[in-house]
Structure formats: C-alpha cells, structure tokens
Structure 1
Amino acid sequence: MDFIVYNKKLQYIMLADYTEAAVCHVDDLVDGELKEVRVGDTDVLLARADSQYYALYPKCSHYQGPLVKGLLNGHRLVCPWHNACFDIRNGHRLEAPALNGLPTHEVRIEGDQVFVRLTTDKESLENPMAAPDEANLETYVIVGGGGAGAFAAEGMREGGFTGKIVMFTESQEGPYDRPNCSKDYLQGKAPDEWMPLRSEEFYQDYGIEVRTNQHVTALDPTTKRIELASGETLTYNKALVCSGGKPNPLPNPGGDLKGVYLLRSLHDSQTLRELGQQGKRVVIIGSSFIGLEGAMSLRKLGSDVDVVGLEKVPFEKALGAKIGRVVQGWHEKEGIRFHLGRKVDHLEGDGAVNAVVLDNGERLSADFVLLGLGVKPRTEFLKDVTLEKDGGVRTDAHLQIFDDLYAAGDIAHYPVADGLHRIEHWKVAGQQGHVAGLNMAGKEELYEMAPFFWTNQQGKRINYVGHATQIEEIIYDGDPEKDDAFLALYVQNGQIKAAAGLKRDQDIIAIRELMQADRMPLPEAVRQGVKWVEMLKKA
C-alpha cells in the first residue's frame, strides 16, 4: 500500500510503502497465547499479554528456533530450543544465549479485527547500548573472551558505561560460539563465518577493544593492576574475571604423547575435524557431554570411535542410569563402542600415540586420542583473592568478589537458597556476564536465573534445567526406554531441584520459570501428574 503525507501548506513530504493485513479477531487469542500469522509474504509471530497484542519476528535470533513453539510468561517470550528470552513489548533480548533482540511490527485494532503493519525487515536487533565517549577516562577490563566476556561487554554498554572497555583473551579469535565446536562445526556443517558472536566492526563501533593471544599472569585487586605475559601492565577502574576452565590433563603414562587432543577451542575443533575426515581411529577418554558430542561428530565424519569412561552408565550422575542407557544406545546404533566402568592404565606409542591400554589389559588401537576429563577454574593469576576448594571464586548476589572486581562463568560460585552453585554452562556464563556487566555500569541487578543447558546426542536435543548434586529419586513423565518424548524430574532433599526433557520443550520452559519464581510444586503433587504450562499460567 502506498500513501502520501502532506503538511499544512499541502507540500509533498514523503512517499512510503508498507504492508498491512488483518490477522485475527480481537478475541481469537487469550493472554499468554502465541500464533504465527502471515502479513503479505512475511511470517509474523502474534503474542497477547495483558489484553494487548504484539507482533514480532517469529524466529529466535540465536539459532532461528520457532518461537511459536516456545512459551509466553507475562511479557517474557522464551525460545523452545535453548531458552533464550525476549520482551514482547520491544523485542529486546532478556537472556542469553541470544545476543540480538527481535524486530517488532506495529499492531492496531480496528473494530473487532487485529491489524499488523510490517515496519522493519531486519532479522536481528541489538539491545540499546551507549556509545563510547573519549572524555570518559575510566577503563573496565574483562579477563576472558568466552560467552561471559562477550555478554559482559555489551552489558556494560547497555548499562550506560561510556568509558574504555578492554577484553583480554588467550584465544586466537574474539568471542565465538563455543558450544558449536563439538556439534555442527566439528561435523563440517557450520561454516567459519557462523562462529564469531559479533563482527570486528561491531566491537569497533562500540569501543570494545578485543585483544587476542593475551595471557594474564597476575591481577591484583588491591592495586587494580593487571600483568600480561608480554610484560605489559595495565590498571583498571573495574574488572570482570571470566577466565573459564582449564582442561584436566591425563595423568597416566603416555599422556604427553603427540596425537592427544582436547576439545576446548575453535582451533581444537578445526584440528579434530581434519583428523576425523581422514577416517582415523580415535579413542575418547571421558564419557562427558562434550566427550559424547565429540564422539557423535567424529563418527559422522567417518572416524572409528571408542569411548572409555569411569561411569558404568554415561551421565548416570547427571541424568540417571535409565536415560544414560538410552543415550548410550543411540550412540551404539551409530557404531560407537563403549568401554565403561574402566580406567586408563597408560598410552602407548613411539613419540605419537598408537594405543590406549585399559586397567583390565584391553588394548584399544588409536591414531589419536581425545580427552574429555572436565575442567578446573582458571584462577591461578588472581592475587589476594580467597579461592574455593576447586579453585573457583565466591561472589555475592551481584557477582562481585572484591571491590570493583566481579566474576562470571565457569569460575563463579554464586549464592542460591541452599548454598553456593558453580555451573559450567554456556547460557549461565552468558547471563552472568550480562548481569555483571550491567552492575559494573552502576546497575544493581541480582543474578537469579535457574541454570539451563542443552546437549545434542545423535541429533536428539535434551534440555536440562536446575541443578541437582545428588539424585535421591527420579519422577518420570513418559518412559525414556519406550517413548519418543519424556520428562524426568530430579528430587533432592525432598524438593525437585532439576528436570531433563526430550521433546518436552514447553514443559521445560514452564519448570524453569516456576523455579525462578520459587513456585515449584512438591514431589507428592508431581507424582499425581502435573500440567506444567497450565500451572505456570495459574501461578
């Protein structure tokens, strides 16, 4: 539709094009409902909350997940795939792992019809951020270039900070999509251009100096002084430590042979992809989530794969034995062999590894080995900061550990109702970084998000919310051994502390929203059957 606007003197001002359509009756949706509609040739997500209609881009800005299959809680729109969260009123991103918000469209009511007018064709929008100001001489430093660091830098600008931001990372690259390193990228299905979280131009525009290949050797919070391996020193006004984890080495004889690899970085993923495409024999030591995602991806590339693990069932401590056996079966159907309840005795090879010998004497031929033995917090450079037993640091509810010093991500022990948690998940790191960045800019945001992670095991995405350190009971909705979709709820100290689901995305979202609102039902009520989405809407 074309329209012409004239001023009072009847002078021509502009000629504009727009597309508008009636998409539904005013009573077609109730509060909390979502519907995908069509305006011209464009798909639009229609949402209703507080008796108001909103129109947005219909796909998540993270991985383009279908938002209509997500869940609306008040004004919070949550993606079904990885639980990114948006505000339907303005499209702003509220939670990681999405960096961008959602384009919005105009909505008007005429008579009993809801009309949507397309007002933008952008596929991504940044949250409003302050521009750098050379007159502001303050310097905020970020130690670590992972997800926490990336979200923190933007959080500082979103919070209104206009001074200098410097990010130090040991990586050869700026912040990138690390979870993809064990999934599509390792399989060769994701091109290099997908991996950076932001472009170099973005960081330049917002005055965020990303310094790669930088090793921080010391950070003294009393003098606010940082030392680099190069000998350079820098003082800061405020700093965030989000240095991530240091992979655990293999202590056994032969662990230092050539051909023993980690899967921690983009470079690691590139190296392993090249090896996997050659159809080599690989032994993966460790049956962790990353270890089995690596096994899946290397097998898809054509490698011959053996997995060695201490647990008798993969993921038994995290997901329970029943789900662990099911996941193991998915991998075995694809030709992956398991050697569980076993330890590595030593690695053999003349300069380069050619075999892994187990504690029962079994010898597994190997052209290369992938270690998946977990990580420890990388905090050895911190001076005069009390460390927890595992090497992490304790924060307050605002993620502060010392005057003008904050922490986020894998190293942070943050307070919860029943103690402290330290969570090694991508979404957690990103959201903690964002909250820390806002607080460094002068906000007073509490970090209160229920933990969430996802894993891709042979093309099946399992979503997990909450945190259970000891599983006392598992309440199942659906049978993991028989059903295509299921929900598992983990009981600890008489409360449901976590849940895992396959193809139960809306239920997982509802459970996470209930956890964050401290409105989870007791196990007795859950055993009788719960409709989670309905419970959330009534809460």
Structure 2
Amino acid sequence: MSSTRTFVVVGGGLAGAKTAEALRDKDFDGSIILLSEEEHLPYERPPLSKEHFAGKKALGDFTVHHGDWYRDHHVDLRYGTTATALDLAAHTVTLPDGSTLGYDKLALATGSRSRRPPIPGSDAEGVHYLRTVDESDRLIEAVGGGRRLVVIGAGWIGLEVGASAREKGADVTVVEAAELPLLGSLGPEMGTVFAELHREHGVQLHLGATVDQIVVEDGKATGVRLGDGTVLPADAVLVAVGAAPNIEIAERAGLDVDGGVLVDAGLQTSDPDVVAVGDIAAQLHPQLGTRIRVEHWANALNQPAVAAATMLGQEAEYTRLPYFFTDQFDLGMEYTGYAPSDGYERVVVRGNLPGREFLAFWLDADNHVLAGMNVNIWDATDQIKQLVSSSAPVDPDRLADPAVPLTDLSG
C-alpha cells in the first residue's frame, strides 16, 4: 500500500469519524483528511434527544474520539469546513475558500439536516430544530419546569424530546398530521401504544392536525395556530418533522441519486473511487433484497468498516439488519428488521401489551417475519434477528405464545 495516497472523508459525524478509524484499523498508512462542518469533535447524535437532553450525558460522554486520537492516528481533522463541490474526473474536492483537495478515494458521510417546512413564523426566536449539540443545548435552556413546549411532529425526535421535557416538568403538546404517532415507522398497531404512553404521562396530543402558523409577538414565538383555528400557547416550539439527506453535492457531481446516494452492497457509489456511508447511503441490501436508506445510529456506527474495506479494494458487503432504539418515559424499545408501513400484513404480539412488556413482530402475507420489536424485554434481540434472517415462515399462533421458545420458530 502506497503511503502517498490520500483518502478524504466528507462529514464529521459518527459515520465520518468511524470511517477514518476503520481505515487505520485496516492498516491504511496514507493521508486521511476528515472534513467536519461543526466546530466540535465528531459525536454521536442519539443522545441529543435522549440522555443529553435529559441531563444524563455531557458532550464528552458521546464524543466518538477525543482530540489526541486524531493526532495519534495521523487523521487531519479540519473543523468548521466541508466540501462545496466534487470533481469526479479530476478527483478533487472544493472547499469553502475556493481551494481544492486532491483525493485517491473519497467517502461521503454528509448526514442529514432537519426538514424545515414553510410554516409562517418558523424563523422566529423560540423556534427550535434538533440536529446538533448546540441546538440541543439551546432547547435544554428553553424547556424546564412550568414552561410550555409545543412539538410539531410525532416522530422519534419529537416524542423523545417531549417525554424528557415532560419529565422535567414542562407542559408538552405534540401536533402531528398523521392519525397516530410513528405511523410511518411502526404502523397503527404500535403507533397506538406510543399515543397511549404519552397521554398517560400528561402529554397533549393533537393528531390528524395541520399547522397554520407559528404565532409570533415581538419577534418571539408565543404559540402555534392549527388549521382549525386552535392556538396552542408556547414558550418554545420544536419543529421535528423529519430529516433530509445532504445529497446535493453528490447530485451536482453526477453521482447516481434517488432520495439518497445510490450504493451497492459494498457501499460503492456509481463512481468506483467514491463510497457513501450513513444517512445518505441508499444501499442495495443483499439480505433484504431491496434498496433502503436508514437514518439511524447503527448504520453510522457499523457501515464504515465496510466502506473502508471497499475504499481499500477489499471485498465487503454490509449485511446488518436495520436497528434502532428509543427510551420514552418507562418504555424502552429496540427494533430490528425492515417493515415499511405499506409492506406488512399483520402484527403479532407476544407478552403483556397493556403492561408494555412484550415483543411485536411484523409479518408479510406468507408469515415471514419482516421485523421485530422488544419493549422492556432485553434478552430477545438476537432471537429476533434470527427470525428476521430466516427464510422460513412462522406459525403466528406459536409466535404469539410466550411458552414457545423463539429459537424453535426460526427454521
């Protein structure tokens, strides 16, 4: 391996930092340049709406590596900068000051940004988005006991922040256009579970509701006006309506994109010298047999080892099943697999659904397990993975029966 080669990683989040780490772990001894748009060391993002927002973790607790790691591993980490353009033919990256970097191999780990719908008043003081640690810190300052928080969007971030804010003593109202929380992620069966959870803990839910505007007085948000004219008073507003992948630079460069940067099983893009990793990677998944793009921590953590191998010319495929987790009030959950809201036939529950200590399984029409979720049961993830990975159908009645070991159902 030539030590004169230069590998550039665009994106200073978990996926970017882990790509640099994986390259060194695989004995790449050339130059690694890591471009980080933020002024912080690369860090993990789930704590921003979980432990950090709840006051249980400081930034240093979820920083990927501390500063001396980059020095000791000869990774040129450049804060506050990112690529503005790529020239695939010339193998160059353009920086904000107009200068260029040459590369032999390039990893795109540009992540996502908060979606910002065109709601009147959404740029006022007191309106928050949550994607960075600085944004999390500002929201923490704005939400406390007796304060009124209105969350627009009942997705993962909105519900996690809503739960933590409620536990801090804030009055919390969540507005969602769909008829249930998490409808696109979990479907109505489990969306109902989360709706009941939040209502039981005093969160006000406005479901099937539209937002007309954020009410602004003297430049500051004071409430949210719904489409039916209802005004929800607020001291702070969190807009949490999803994330948009940062694929514009890839698209302008001519890489194949379709809602994400298209990559093969080894995370290689349509250019043989460019990989994409993390939120932006729309991968042809070898096990699932379909193209998926997953905006969850596990992909950012685990894909880089495969991306690094591909950059080094080694055969590798990313075969891990999608995985995510959440903690809200007294409900802890892990989800494994892939069951789009319009792609499953039924949900089978095993255990105590009212007591929120159960397993849930999404099945297709042929009774194959597409995905599984363990709620407040912490020793089932491996068995769920086996069921999802199995090509054998299951008997739904046996699947629902806690007396039947899961290992007897995986074929």
TM-score, reference length from structure 1 = 0.71
Offset at 1:369?
0.9
3-state SS of 2:332 partner: strand
Please say if residues 358 and 377 of structure 2, whose CA atoms lie closer than 8 Å, have aligned partners that are also in contact: yes
Offset at 1:230?
2.2
Partner of residue 282, structure 2: 413
Bigger radius of gyration, 1 or 2? 1
Please say if residues 475 and 488 of structure 1, whose CA atoms lie closer than 8 Å, have aligned partners that are also in contact: yes
3-state SS of 1:360 partner: coil
Offset at 1:479?
4.3
| Cα shift readout 1:88-135 (whole Å, capped 9, x = no counterpart) | xxxxxxxxxxxxxxxxxxxxxxxxxxxxxxxxxxxxxxxxxxxxx9x8
Please say if residues 353 and 368 of structure 1, whose CA atoms lie closer than 8 Å, have aligned partners that are also in contact: yes
Pick one of 153, 174, 177 that aligns with 1:310.
177
Separation in 1, partners of 2:355, 2:234: 36
Partner of residue 331, structure 1: 198
1:357-368 map, 5 Å: 357-368=225-236
| Cα shift readout 1:11-48 (whole Å, capped 9, x = no counterpart) | xxxxxxxxxxxxxxxxxxxxxxxxxxxxxxxxxxxxxx
| Cα shift readout 1:69-95 (whole Å, capped 9, x = no counterpart) | xxxxxxxxxxxxxxxxxxxxxxxxxxx
Offset at 1:533?
3.6
Pick one of 148, 165, 168 that aligns with 1:298.
165
Which is strand-richer, 1 or 2? 1
Partner of residue 370, structure 2: 497
Pick one of 450, 469, 475 that aligns with 2:321.
450
Pick one of 462, 470, 473 that aligns with 2:346.
473
Separation in 2, partners of 1:335, 1:503: 21
Pick one of 247, 253, 273 that aligns with 1:404.
273
Please say if residues 91 and 104 of structure 2, whose CA atoms lie closer than 8 Å, have aligned partners that are also in contact: yes
In structure 1, runs of 5+ residues without a counterpart are 1-132
Q: 1:301 to 1:230 in 2, by over 3 A?
A: farther
Residue identity matched to 1:442: G
Partner of residue 486, structure 1: 358
Q: 1:155 to 1:513 in 2, by over 3 A?
A: farther
Separation in 2, partners of 1:182, 1:459: 16
Residue identity matched to 1:323: M
Please say if residues 281 and 368 of structure 1, whose CA atoms lie closer than 8 Å, have aligned partners that are also in contact: yes
Separation in 2, partners of 1:223, 1:384: 11
3-state SS of 1:229 partner: coil
Offset at 1:394?
0.7
Partner of residue 75, structure 1: none
Partner of residue 62, structure 1: none
Please say if residues 147 and 433 of structure 1, whose CA atoms lie closer than 8 Å, have aligned partners that are also in contact: no
Please say if residues 143 and 241 of structure 1, whose CA atoms lie closer than 8 Å, have aligned partners that are also in contact: yes
Offset at 1:328?
2.2
1:34-183 map, 5 Å: 136-183=3-50
Please say if residues 369 and 387 of structure 2, whose CA atoms lie closer than 8 Å, have aligned partners that are also in contact: no
CA RMSD of aligned residues (A): 2.0
Report which structure shows greater RCO (CA 8 Å, sep ≥6).
Answer: 2
The more displaced of 260-269 and 380-389 is: 380-389
3-state SS of 2:98 partner: coil
Partner of residue 73, structure 1: none
Residue identity matched to 1:322: E
Partner of residue 85, structure 2: 218
3-state SS of 1:149 partner: helix
3-state SS of 2:380 partner: helix
Partner of residue 429, structure 1: 300
Please say if residues 152 and 438 of structure 1, whose CA atoms lie closer than 8 Å, have aligned partners that are also in contact: no
Separation in 2, partners of 1:431, 1:251: 35
Runs ≥4 residues deviating over 6 A: none
Offset at 1:493?
4.9
Separation in 2, partners of 1:343, 1:201: 49
Offset at 1:520?
4.4
Q: 1:170 to 1:493 in 2, by over 3 A?
A: farther
Pick one of 381, 398, 402 that aligns with 1:528.
398
Offset at 1:514?
4.6
Offset at 1:433?
1.7
Q: 1:526 to 1:508 in 2, by over 3 A?
A: farther
Separation in 2, partners of 1:290, 1:387: 29
Partner of residue 66, structure 1: none
Residue identity matched to 2:115: N
Please say if residues 159 and 443 of structure 1, whose CA atoms lie closer than 8 Å, have aligned partners that are also in contact: no
Offset at 1:438?
2.5
Q: 1:493 to 1:440 in 2, by over 3 A?
A: farther
Partner of residue 4, structure 1: none
Partner of residue 27, structure 1: none
3-state SS of 2:253 partner: coil
3-state SS of 1:455 partner: strand
Separation in 1, partners of 2:253, 2:11: 19
Offset at 1:534?
4.9
Offset at 1:526?
3.8
1:504-519 map, 5 Å: 504-515=377-388, 518-519=389-390
Q: 1:323 to 1:182 in 2, by over 3 A?
A: same
Separation in 2, partners of 1:397, 1:260: 40
3-state SS of 2:379 partner: helix
Please say if residues 160 and 441 of structure 1, whose CA atoms lie closer than 8 Å, have aligned partners that are also in contact: no
3-state SS of 1:505 partner: coil
Residue identity matched to 1:477: R
Separation in 1, partners of 2:277, 2:377: 29
Are positions 1:281 and 2:148 aligned together?
yes
Q: 1:257 to 1:140 in 2, by over 3 A?
A: same
Pick one of 117, 126, 136 that aligns with 1:259.
126
Offset at 1:259?
1.6
Separation in 1, partners of 2:393, 2:309: 35
Partner of residue 87, structure 1: none
Offset at 1:483?
3.5
| Cα shift readout 1:215-270 (whole Å, capped 9, x = no counterpart) | 32112222111111122211111010011112110212222222211111111111
Percent identity over the alignment? 32
Q: 1:216 to 1:493 in 2, by over 3 A?
A: farther
Q: 1:175 to 1:403 in 2, by over 3 A?
A: same
Separation in 2, partners of 1:386, 1:343: 36
Please say if residues 284 and 371 of structure 1, whose CA atoms lie closer than 8 Å, have aligned partners that are also in contact: yes
